[in-house]
Structure 1
Amino acid sequence: MAKNPKIHKDLFDAALTLGFRELVEEVYAELVPIQEDIV
């Protein structure tokens, strides 16, 4: 991995983007009912 930091970074960014998107969807799904309760 250290020999190709650019490739590693691209793969990491792609995985991070996909993981972050899933995380955001999960968090959003949990926050929406909470926001409705608050309002």
Structure 2
Amino acid sequence: MSKKLIALCACPMGLAHTFMAAQALEEAAVEAGYEVKIE
């Protein structure tokens, strides 16, 4: 059974920060062996 992660990213400072955080979280999760879905 694979490890799975679901995440929701939102940043009050702006839309660009939200996408940067989501990308960093996705890269770290994949590197750690998780299947990931981020909104």
TM-score band, normalised by the shorter chain? 0.3 to 0.5
Bigger-Rg structure (1/2):
1
Bigger relative contact order, structure 1 or 2 (CA pairs below 8 A, ≥6 apart): 2
Q: Which structure has more strand as a fraction of its residues?
A: 2
- State the TM-score, normalizing by the size of structure 2: 0.47
Q: Which structure has more helix as a fraction of its residues?
A: 1
- State the TM-score, normalizing by the size of structure 1: 0.47
